[in-house]
Amino acid sequence: MYNQNQLEYLLKNENLIETETVEKIKAYIANLEKWNNAINLTSKNFDYFTHIRDSLMFFELFKSPKGKLLDIGSGNGFPVIILAIVCPKLEITMVESSTKKCAFLRDTISKLSLNANVLNKNIMDIQPKNNFDFATIRGLKCSYEMEIKLNFILADNYGKLFVWAYPPPSLKRFTLLHSVCKNNKYLHLYIKAQAAPQPI
């Protein structure tokens, strides 16, 4: 579980002081706990506060984002539900291969009125369109095949990739711009190295 005072202090440090933001995060956790009883979305001793804090590391690298964001392997909603709550200007697409987890994500989006949608697919099945401004990966390895796919999915020249991992992945098609570390957790910001060639 989490301590509400800790949560409010954390959000205050990120200048996220709106009552609606706090209430939506609490509602998300409540819905996660409800669904968790049925489909095991988290471990028994899951630390909600730590995962919220890790999700908010996004603000260390990018303030007040707007545009289209693709989250890969959205699972139980960290970090993407937190980002959808605190970054309402983002138009978010969640990609998740588990049908049950997709049902949870859609239910949460509906209850919290978030600007997001869910695709029940594997990232490798997404058609490349070069139209996402951001992509986020947490808890998954950024494989060579995934890197190629992301190269075509993210917008040319300025598409940004955020990866929670240690050490930072060595990506050939992306340039590492910056990394941050908090509480032994690492977040890395990449940008497409150059305009992507058109897929054959």
Instruction: Name the β-bridge partners of 136.
Output: 71, 162
73 is in an annotated binding site: yes
Give me the chain's average pLDDT, please.
Answer: 89
Residue 97 assigned as binding residue? yes
Residue 158 or 187, more confident: 187
Model pTM score: 0.90
pLDDT in tens, 21-61: 889 999 999 999 999 988 989 988 888 888 998 999 998 88
| Contact assessment for residue 90 and residue 135, using Cβ atoms and an 8 Å cutoff | no
pLDDT score for 40: 86
According to the annotation, is 138 in a ligand binding site? yes
Give the pLDDT score at 129: 79
Question: Looking at residue 6, what is its pLDDT?
Answer: 80
Confidence of residue 1 (pLDDT cuts 50, 70, 90): low
Angle at 74 between CA 198 and CA 36, to 5 degrees: 165
Q: What local confidence, expressed as pLDDT, does residue 37 receive?
A: 87
* pLDDT given for residue 199 in this prediction: 46
At the topology level, CATH places domain 4-192 in Rossmann fold (3.40.50)
What is the Cα 193 distance to its own chain's centre?
A: 22
Please tell me whether 78 is known to bind a ligand. yes
- What's the pLDDT at 200? 36
Among residues 161, 159, 160, 167, the alpha carbon closest in space to that of 186 is found at 167
Can you say how many angstroms the Cα of residue 157 is from the centroid of all Cα atoms in its chain?
21
